[in-house]
């Protein structure tokens, strides 16, 4: 949803309609058992990884209001749904691979807040090219709820040169040509 009536219709981009029994874009679990309750606000993410997966699914489905709402309060103040929608407008999301996740020890300077980290790779396409985003994201608990704070880019970002017979980037153990290549063309 646009934050003002002057923003273009891009932020109103229709969200993908997904049946509750369809596999969630972030994992093999049924969407209704994974991210649907988080997207509808009937549940909150119990871990940083659960929030990371729900945010990825929200990008895939065009739920940009959810993306903005799950930023930590300090970062959220500088974002709009339109900005997020605009940045993702030409992107086709291919796959999420979570590599590591942890809850960080509580610091005495943080007023009782907990922090978590999730290292992941997201594969996506733009202009018929495959890319990888490799990031370590930081999450913070605010009033008992996890929020995305920021991320650090790690090695391996940028264009991916996969050959047709290579293993697929999504980790399916299929060949690239039989799995995600058609999503890029």
Tell me what the mean pLDDT of segment 98-113 comes to. Answer: 76
More confident residue, 90 or 9: 90
More confident residue, 185 or 132: 132
* pLDDT at res. 12: 35
d(CA 157, CA 161): 12
The answer as to whether 3 is a domain residue is: no
- Residue 142: CB atoms within 10 Å: 13
The answer as to whether 34 is a domain residue is: yes
The answer as to whether 2 is a domain residue is: no
Tell me what the mean pLDDT of segment 132-158 comes to. Answer: 95
Count of domains forming the chain = 1
Q: How many CA atoms lie within 13 A of 119 on its CB side?
A: 8
The answer as to whether 1 is a domain residue is: no
pLDDT digits (tens, 9 = 90+) for 157-183: 999 998 889 999 888 889 999 998 988
d(CA 123, CA 97): 8
Give the Å distances, CA to CA, from 103 to 51, 73, 88, 127, 153: 13, 20, 29, 37, 19
Q: Is the pLDDT at 28 greater than 60, yes or no?
A: yes
Q: Is the pLDDT at 41 greater than 70, yes or no?
A: yes
The answer as to whether 97 is a domain residue is: yes
Q: Is the pLDDT at 138 greater than 50, yes or no?
A: yes
Structure tokens at 4: 């003002």
pTM of the predicted model, to two decimals?
0.86
Q: Any idea what the CATH number is for the domain that residue 73 is in?
A: 3.10.450.50
Give the Å distances, CA to CA, from 62 to 17, 21, 143, 144, 153: 10, 19, 27, 26, 23
The answer as to whether 96 is a domain residue is: yes
Q: How confident is the model at residue 114 (pLDDT cuts 50, 70, 90)?
A: confident
Instruction: Name the residue range of residue 43's domain.
Output: 9-184
Q: Is the pLDDT at 142 greater than 50, yes or no?
A: yes
The answer as to whether 82 is a domain residue is: yes
The answer as to whether 4 is a domain residue is: no
Q: How confident is the model at residue 13 (pLDDT cuts 50, 70, 90)?
A: very low
d(CA 41, CA 51): 12
* pLDDT at res. 113: 76
Give alpha helix (H) positions in 23-158.
36-39, 48-61, 64-69, 73-76, 81-88
């Amino acid at each position: 949803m646009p934050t003002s009536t002057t923003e273009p219709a891009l932020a109103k981009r229709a969200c993908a309609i997904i049946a509750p029994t369809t596999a969630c874009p972030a994992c093999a679990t049924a969407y209704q058992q994974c991210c649907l309750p988080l997207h509808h606000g009937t549940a909150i993410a119990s871990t940083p990884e659960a929030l990371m997966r729900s945010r990825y699914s929200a990008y895939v489905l065009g739920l940009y209001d959810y993306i903005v709402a799950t930023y930590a309060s300090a970062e959220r103040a500088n974002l709009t749904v339109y900005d997020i929608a605009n940045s993702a407008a030409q992107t086709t999301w291919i796959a999420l691979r979570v590599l590591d996740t942890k809850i960080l020890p509580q610091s005495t300077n943080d007023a009782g807040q907990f922090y978590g980290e999730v290292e992941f790779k997201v594969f996506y396409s733009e202009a018929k090219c495959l890319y990888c985003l490799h990031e370590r994201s930081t999450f913070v608990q605010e009033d008992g709820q996890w929020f995305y704070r920021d991320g650090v880019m790690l090695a391996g970002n940028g264009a991916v040169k996969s050959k047709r017979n290579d293993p697929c980037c999504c980790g399916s153990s299929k060949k690239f040509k039989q799995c995600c290549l058609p999503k890029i063309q």
